[in-house]
Amino acid sequence: MKVMIYKAGLAACFCCILALGWATPGLTAQKHYSSLVYDTGRLQPVDSELQVQVGDIAPDFELPAISGKAVRLSTFRGHKNVVISFVPAAWTPVCSDQWPGYGISRPLFDQYNATLLGISVDNVPTLHAWVQQMGNIWFEVLSDFWPHGEVASRYGVLRGDGTAERALIFIDHQGRISGLIVSDINVRPPLESIVKELEKLN
């Protein structure tokens, strides 16, 4: 089983949050941003055990999306590679600047005939509000809220506190898992690690 666990220091935990009074006096051109992100503090890096491995047929699921659709994984089989991005929870650090990065990376996914499915254990209204706040999210965002974390649990990325791991599952167009990245929950997997896995899909 190939599992990559990214560990890094504080650096990768960095998230964009703003901007409370760090300014030279007298500036009039300043635009303030406010953060709605809840600071969880540093968490145990990984708190689950994978139930899938490279080469497995990815467990099928159907989940409600914030677009209003119900998205079934197996509908992509035969014509599209799929990347699943599990994130721990809405409105938390790292997650709140992980998907916006993917928001400007659609060409990278298109290049490898891949679509991205974002999954969180939050309910649809919460995910809707979070995605609206992040903006520029082109991919389907799915709610694994009820039965709580059932899909995350089947993949083995449901943590003991009911959140999910920060995990990426790469699935080829035949529905087979080609790569798995379970990151330290406190850090963001670098974009190039995704590209490296996408390259395997072609």
Partner 1 sequence: MHKPIIFMLRAGVMLMLFVCFPGALMAESEPLPQLVLPVPADEHHRTYLGLQESGDGATFEVVEIDADILLIELFSMYCPYCQAEAPLVNELYELMQALSGSEPKVKIIGIGASNSDFEVDHFGKTYDVEFPLFSDQDMAIYNALAGAGTPGFVGARRDAAGGFSIVLRQSGGFYSAADFLKELIAAGAN
Contacting positions for partner 1 (CB under 8 A):
9-33, 97-98, 100-101, 103-105, 108, 134-136, 188, 190-192, 195
CB of 139 to partner 1, least distance (A): 15
Residue with tokens 């990278």: 108
Strand partners of residue 70: 64
CB of 162 to partner 1, least distance (A): 25
Residue with tokens 């699921």: 61
Return the number of the residue (20 or 70) whose C-beta is nearest partner 1.
Answer: 20
- Strand 62-64 and strand 70-72: the pairing is antiparallel
Return the number of the residue (68 or 107) whose C-beta is nearest partner 1.
Answer: 107
CB of 107 to partner 1, least distance (A): 8
Return the number of the residue (13 or 201) whose C-beta is nearest partner 1.
Answer: 13
CB of 13 to partner 1, least distance (A): 8
Residue pair 170/200 in contact (Cβ under 8 Å)? The answer is: yes
In whole angstroms, give the CA distance from residue 157 to residue 89: 13
Q: How many CB atoms lie within 10 A of CB 92?
A: 20
What three-state secondary structure class fits 117? strand
Return the number of the residue (172 or 184) whose C-beta is nearest partner 1.
Answer: 184
CB of 95 to partner 1, least distance (A): 10
Return the number of the residue (1 or 19) whose C-beta is nearest partner 1.
Answer: 19
CB of 63 to partner 1, least distance (A): 24
- Provide the token pair at 127: 């995910």
Return the number of the residue (114 or 158) whose C-beta is nearest partner 1.
Answer: 114
Strand partners of residue 170: 83, 179
In whole angstroms, give the CA distance from residue 41 to residue 93: 9
Burial of 10 per CB tally in 10 Å (0-12, 13-18, 19+)? exposed
